[in-house]
A and B are shown apart, each in its own frame.
Chain A
Amino acid sequence: MAAQLVVRDLSKTYTAGDKELLAVSNINLEIAPREFVSIIGSNGSGKTTLLKTVAGILTPTSGEARVEGTISYMPQDHALLPWRTVEENLYLPSDIRNVPRANVKKRIVDLLTEFGLEQFAHLYPASLSGGMRQKVALLRTVLQDPALLLLDEPFASLDALTRLEAQEWLLALLQKMHASVLLITHDIREAIFLSDTIYALTSRPGTIKEKFAVPLPKPRTRDHLRTPEALELEKKLLSLLVHTP
């Protein structure tokens, strides 16, 4: 099967005045259909730049990112529109494509009900909890019927417990669709729990240091994180990404 995403020799340089900053350098990666890929790296490793380039928001300085099918992008910090209610935020993708709201109404109502958000449909994002906002933003991302989901640290702003819940929630959501995922995170366990493949990114400029296949079966439970294979992978990633003096 053709790859959902192919990134070839991609580099991105920012220019501000006469200063240049090489944010990501020479990235090569591939995502197969239905594959869940995580890119893990510390802050400033160019993860977001890479994702924005794949999303078509930024143009690469050299190389290319070729996407098969449609993408949907979830920016850091949910980016729900504060003047739209939960339900209206979910209408945004169809509004942009000039699809009449009547055509998507049933689907939105069903999704809200299914994920237990129906009583929040008419609230503004400001009156939701952080976890709730991320969930709504994920639903909005899914509603674009993407072949590839691009998620930029979707759970970074959540507390540790809510984050675990949100991860399960994401997996449940993905069960219902045939999408590939490119997830950006700096949480090693999150990457192991969710992914089929993990790319470790080094800092400034961001380059891919190593690629790991996650040796765990699917569907996964938290128990899988305590298997020797998972612990071994966690150790490797830790030693690769965290420099202790």
Chain B
Amino acid sequence: MAYSDKVIDHYENPRNVGSLDPSEPDVGTALVGAPACGDVMKLQIKVNPSGVIEDAKFKTFGCGSAIASSSLATEWIKGMTIDQAMSVKNTHIVEELSLPPVKIHCSVLAEDAIKGAIADYRKKQEQKA
């Protein structure tokens, strides 16, 4: 498959690979996808008291565009408020990475991962309150 230069760049130099401690109250974690489908993304955010995503990390099992989609997602949401991050759409990722139609599900998974991590963070905040 001929990928865009941006996919190849994210694949070869992935941003924000790693893990945050999921037990921390200010960390939200999402694990989306399934091994049987060939892609699983773990995306984590660390949110400061003013609601800004201070740090984001990912680990992805998947093809080049799944890795690139999650790498791009973490790069984008770092520095956003969680409300801003909620508005990141898979179509933005498709556009930025010029993903071919057969790879659109990778961007959907990345959007799900962002939303999942925020939901996990919010749940923790509610439990704390």
The answer to whether A and B belong to the same complex is no
* A interface residues with partner B (beta carbon < 8 Å): none
* B interface residues with partner A (beta carbon < 8 Å): none
